[in-house]
């Protein structure tokens, strides 16, 4: 479990943006490449994983990126959003986990759970009443993971991967 791994979760420094961008692209392709067409994946990756795109997101108010390090290797990352940076605007006093990805070689070692706990603690530190996220309705493993941690589906929204129309379930958890 993660308790045995010396995971260091810290904000992404500007000089670490290339590391973040590469990890983000690699983990996204690994997670969803087999379930989508090469054309849709290529279109989405081209539009969403350029260095310019990451620089723009990094500078956006309300966006927070974190890298999780084991020794000197970035093995996972988070993108958290508050205020107008959230992809859904109707949730007041909320923090969005827009992205939570772990390198495939480190999955099953409790890192996802550590990142989720970090996100909840960060939301509480910001005095948010809710934490929420979107998860592909076909990703049953992730849905079960979030349900085990107290998240419940409250809505859905459209997501386009290339030309493919997909549905993300929106899940939230009330913070005590």
User: Among residues 44, 101, 106, 146, which one is catalytic?
Assistant: 146
Answer yes or no: 146 catalytic.
yes
Counting Cα atoms < 13 Å in the Cβ hemisphere of 42 gives 3
As a 3-state breakdown, the chain gives helix, strand, coil percent values, each rounded to 5, of 45, 35, 25
Strands lying side by side in the sheet with 130-136:
7-11, 63-70, 73-81, 94-102, 130-136, 164-174, 152-161
Rounded CA gap, 116 and 111, in Å? 9
Q: β-strand 152-161 against 94-102: which pairing, if any?
A: unpaired
Counting Cα atoms < 13 Å in the Cβ hemisphere of 31 gives 23
What phi and psi values does residue 148 have, to the nearest 5 degrees?
Answer: -60, -25
**Annotated active-site positions, please?**
146
């Amino acid at each position: 479990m993660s308790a045995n791994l010396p995971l260091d979760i810290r904000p992404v420094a500007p000089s670490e943006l290339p590391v973040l961008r590469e990890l983000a692209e690699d983990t996204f392709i690994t997670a969803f490449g087999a379930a989508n067409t090469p054309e849709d994946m290529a279109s989405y990756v081209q539009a969403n994983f350029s260095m310019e795109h990451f620089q723009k997101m990094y500078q956006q108010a309300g966006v927070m990126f974190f890298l999780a390090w084991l020794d000197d290797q970035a093995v996972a990352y988070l993108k958290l959003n508050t205020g107008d940076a959230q992809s859904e605007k109707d949730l007041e006093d909320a923090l969005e986990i827009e992205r939570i990805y772990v390198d495939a070689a480190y999955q099953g070692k409790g890192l996802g759970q550590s990142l989720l706990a970090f996100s909840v603690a960060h939301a509480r530190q910001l005095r948010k009443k809710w934490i929420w996220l979107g998860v592909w309705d076909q990703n049953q493993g992730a849905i079960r993971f979030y349900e085990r941690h107290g998240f419940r589906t409250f809505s859905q929204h459209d997501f386009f991967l290339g030309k493919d129309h997909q549905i993300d379930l929106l899940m939230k958890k009330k913070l005590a």
